Amino acid sequence: MVQKGDCFEGEVIDFALPESYGIMRKNGLVVFVPQVIPGEKCLVRLTKIKPNYALGELVEIIEPSPFRKTPPCPHFQEGCGGCRLQFMDYGVQIRVKERNALTILEKIGGIVIDRVEYQGFIPAQNVFEYRNKMEFNFGEREGKLLLGLRPLNRYWDLINLEVCYLMPQTLSAGILAFFRDYGNTSHLSGYDPVRKEGILRNLLVRLSRTSHEVLLGLATVECTLPETERMIEGLRIRFPEVQGVVHIVNNSPASALIFEKKRLLFGKDSFIEKIGNIFYKVSLPSFFQVNTELCTVLYERARDYAELSRREMVLDLYSGSGGIGLFVARYARQVIGVEENPQAVEDAHFNAELNTIDNFHCFSGRVEKVLAFLPHERVDVVIVDPPRAGLDKKVVGKIAHLTPRRVVYVSCNIGTFARDVALLAEKGYMLRKIAFLDLFPQTPHFETVALFQK
Ligand SMILES: C[S@@+](CC[C@H](N)C(=O)[O-])C[C@H]1O[C@@H](n2cnc3c(N)ncnc32)[C@H](O)[C@@H]1O
């Protein structure tokens, strides 16, 4: 019988993702412990007992792993929810992610990895400062304005960041300090997501890895923003790379950054990014892969899996601003995109022109609906890159109804992907090739790219 407060010594036997807990055992009960690495011997105190598992906290590491690292970010120990794996060597991060991915694939998708062409877990070259987009939150504590990221599982709380290691450090440190100072001197309060009070809500930072331009979005719950001229002037002097600032009104009860209204305060609201030899216009609100370097490898792999010979009709579902569709267009006869965000559709058509690609067209609307109205033409390849929720069961049915020869699936959520592997198998589409790519080092997340064939 175990009790809260009990201490025990044991070995870390596994690692659970996405929660990022080490797994230990006490009297047969699974104990989840943060910030421990498989193979380590630890002294742990039980903090919560549930019928099937317990939570514990690390008291002492008795035998540390040779793969333990001192987290470089000063906010890691404060519990910043941005990157949770900083205490592990990068090679171990890859191993725990791979193990997690293969286990989920087997348990939920029914896939025995030896029976498909497994092409491995591709690591990132830049394991810090790799993101081209960050969304920070404003808040307030004891009358003091805060700006930073939320701790894990505490949507109401905020870590006041001096710096963020996921973006170039000098940029993140400078911009965070600048906007905290602007908010304080303009007497603007930080938003409280529980009481739903306060003015300043989010700060969106986007960085082009191609032109090195920076775009900023400052979200408030109100339409008015004081001293904007002073703010813009200060920004232009201190950060010449800032080429556009947008004021966003976000009064939504949801925790996500919603562009209810937007007003350009200075410069422009989009920039150009390059993946492979394709140029993309990226607008402030549109989806774009956050890791520019590894995105090239992801798109190349998706193109290889599509096995194009310039004769194919390709559907690019959930096409964003034309990311994958335009990347593969020169290898296909025709590419048709489907995307629900009208701004992204506009950007996709702009991008087609920018790259003088004339065999790409994008339909605006939800995949669930648009699939029924597509031109009646034989579809050879379907590429899907859905949001974290994955494909709808009906969408899988409609894709199968088109009888494509190949389905290429790009996913950012291994759980919903594994579920959809089983749904596709029910329709006769079997997993043939699969690879994982670490687009998000230091975090539990990664991308999957897979090929399905009848
Ligand atoms: C993971 S992104 C992929 C974008 C693109 N493939 C790329 O690489 O840049 C998913 C996209 O699906 C869009 N989306 C989400 N739900 C959708 C739906 N039901 N129908 C159509 N598009 C949707 C989002 O707006 C977003 O642009």
Q: Where are the domains of the chain?
A: 7-63, 101-125+291-453, 133-274
Q: What is the pLDDT of residue 191?
A: 95
Which CATH number, 2.30.110.10, 2.40.50.140, 1.10.3720.10, 2.60.40.1260, labels domain 7-63? 2.40.50.140
Residue 9 CA to residue 240 CA, distance in Å, equals 55
Ligand 1, atom 20, residue with closest C-alpha: 366
Structure tokens at 298: 């992801």
Q: Which range has the worst mean pLDDT, 167-176, 256-265, 322-331?
A: 256-265
- Distances 400 to 14, 362, 368 between C-alpha atoms, Å: 38, 21, 13
Ligand 1, atom 12, residue with closest C-alpha: 318
Distance from the alpha carbon of residue 391 to the mean position of ligand 1, in angstroms? 11
Q: What is the pLDDT of residue 134?
A: 97
Distance from the alpha carbon of residue 344 to the mean position of ligand 1, in angstroms? 9
Domains 7-63 and 133-274 share a fold: yes
Which of residues 224 and 201 earns the better pLDDT score? 201
The tens digit of pLDDT for each residue in 87-115 reads 999 999 999 999 999 999 999 999 999 99
Superfamily designation of domain 101-125+291-453: Vaccinia Virus protein VP39 (3.40.50.150)
Q: How confident is the model at residue 79 (pLDDT cuts 50, 70, 90)?
A: confident
Rg, Å, the chain Cα set = 23
% residues pLDDT > 70 (the chain): 100
The residue to mutate among 291, 340, 394, having the most atoms of ligand 1 within 8 angstroms of its beta carbon, is: 340
φ, ψ for residue 62, nearest 5 deg: -80, -45
Distance from the alpha carbon of residue 411 to the mean position of ligand 1, in angstroms? 11
Average pLDDT over residues 378-396: 95
Average pLDDT for the chain: 95
Distance from the alpha carbon of residue 142 to the mean position of ligand 1, in angstroms? 40
Comparing CA positions, the residue from 271, 362, 280 lying closest to residue 327 is 280
% residues pLDDT > 90 (the chain): 89
- Distances 186 to 43, 174, 266, 304 between C-alpha atoms, Å: 49, 18, 19, 53
The residue to mutate among 289, 318, 343, 345, having the most atoms of ligand 1 within 8 angstroms of its beta carbon, is: 318
Atom of ligand 1 nearest to the CA of 338: 21
412 is catalytic: yes
Distance from the alpha carbon of residue 336 to the mean position of ligand 1, in angstroms? 14
- The contacts of residue 200 (CB under 8 Å, 6+ apart) are 138, 145, 183, 188, 189, 190, 191, 218, 219, 220
The tens digit of pLDDT for each residue in 289-329 reads 999 999 999 999 999 999 999 999 999 999 999 999 999 99
Q: What is the pLDDT of residue 2?
A: 84
Atom of ligand 1 nearest to the CA of 320: 27
pTM over 0.85: yes
Structure tokens at 422: 């089983």
Catalytic residue from among 42, 83, 164, 412: 412
Average pLDDT over residues 202-229: 94
User: Is residue 376 pLDDT above 80, yes or no?
Assistant: no
Ligand 1, atom 26, residue with closest C-alpha: 320
Residue 344 near residue 365 (C-beta atoms within 8 A): no
User: Is residue 8 pLDDT above 80, yes or no?
Assistant: yes
Distance from the alpha carbon of residue 288 to the mean position of ligand 1, in angstroms? 10
Query: What is the CA 317 to chain-centroid distance, rounded?
Result: 18
Class of domain 133-274: mainly beta
Atom of ligand 1 nearest to the CA of 316: 6
Residue 229 near residue 237 (C-beta atoms within 8 A): no
Pocket of ligand 1 (CB under 6 A): 287-289, 318-320, 323-324, 338-341, 344, 366-368, 385, 387
Ligand 1, atom 13, residue with closest C-alpha: 318
